[in-house]
Structure 1
Amino acid sequence: AALPAIFNPEDLNALEQALRLKEQNPGSTVGILTMGPPRAGEIIRQGLYRGADTGWLLTDRLFAGADTLATSYALATGIQKIGDVDIVIGGRQAIDGDTAQVGPQVAQKLGLNQVTYAEEILKVEDGKATIRRLIDGGVETVEAPLPLVITVNGSAAPCRPCNVKLVMKYKYATCPMERKGDEPWANLYEERPYLTLNQWSVADVDGDPAQCGLSGSPTKVKAVKNIVFQAKESKTLTSSDEDIDGLMKELLNESIIG
């Protein structure tokens, strides 16, 4: 069975910062851009439930198998198609890869300034953003001109819960490829256009197939294994030098520490 689509935890922190900026700056809007199979439309719905205004799903078999370089290329082309974006906010890193590369790569491809490891976006005014970011040994406050890419830490404020009224409004919002065609509520898509989420292919964003998905990925996953840790036997150690020395040697031999 296909795995469910989940909202990357640090992207939820980023969404909260975006929603706070929307509240502080009347007239601004928040959009969710994500890449994945059709079921990733759930990510956009989760954003709409919390207060986002719209969303775009990059979905195409040509996007499949992307590493960080191909992912950042796809997202950058999507942002260029959206156009007129003041701030791009994303999580510091994904829960699976833990590379923290995509945000900076998107900034580089778009030629935008970037601020990483953000804890809080304090304000946006006069074409500049003031941001508190995490550094070794503490935090610093920086100011950067717009347009700007910001990556947000998991230690930032958690995202607000879903709003019941918004859940009721958007519960049937889907991308065209998510639909089976026989839904009892199918007539709603003509009556309420906002229930049709934006869905873009490589061609829709004028992307180069050679730079997308597996074709555009210099790194490729050779194998994925499900590792189950099971204790075959237990050992009781004391605080003696002999026991501690033996434990350290065992951990080194098993490459657990090095």
Structure 2
Amino acid sequence: MENSNRANVSLLMHGTMLMFASSYLFVLVNPLNSIIRTIYNETYMERNGVAMSKSTWAVYLSLTSSFFIIGGLVGGLGMQFILKITSRKRLMQLAHVINILSVILIAGVGKITESYEVFIVGRFVGGICFGLSFNLPSLMVSETSIKQKQNFWQSIISVSSCCGILFAVIIGHDKILGSLTLWPVAFSIGALPSIVYLITSLHLPNTPYDVLHRLGKQEALNVLRTLRNGSKELIHQEFELLQPDIELTRKIGIIEILSIKQF
């Protein structure tokens, strides 16, 4: 039994778009460091009448970086709570909306207002997406692909992250889009994968596991049939394995993970 073409498209969209976009925006500030410093300094001079000192710049740079990490913690730790009220697919769509919102705040509102506070808030929002990107794509890939291909698709997630990092370094070069006039374009590129995903997601199914958990057996079986190329017997055999997984799944707290040896 193999993944169907629809499953492969779903795996490609779920596994690559969010990780590529979040990794790209995470690294992009590094080649644009001098541009960001110029923007911050100009805003600081307009407000205070003096140039920003090195120590003040160090504070704002640390805030810009640390708020992204704080957002990542919020996104990573908050995923399990969000999944209690919504599906995997809906959360993935929400993550891409958050990514687009981050780009709008930085490249749109930040450019118009020339406010480093908006830039920092935009980085925090982008960090939430970054935190989700370390958990959600892997979860959806593992619940969508056949077991024999899961390792391959998990590796694709890592490759997409590396590609996003490499692309950010290239795009952020001062000879390409890393200039004082084109930096908003460089950030705007980070929204393109999210736009592509949101458009295609209208035709992508949720994971069979999540459908079984939320909508029941028949709906989950219908989804599984669209994701597999194989005989009805093999599809039903795989479907029968989903039910015990759900029955054996129980909620585990952090204290249990740390205190019980089997975890």
**What range describes the TM-score normalised by the shorter chain of this pair?**
under 0.3
Using the size of structure 1 for normalisation, the TM-score is 0.26
Structure with the bigger RCO (C-alpha within 8 Å, sep 6+) is 2
Using the size of structure 2 for normalisation, the TM-score is 0.26
Larger helix proportion, structure 1 or 2?
Answer: 2
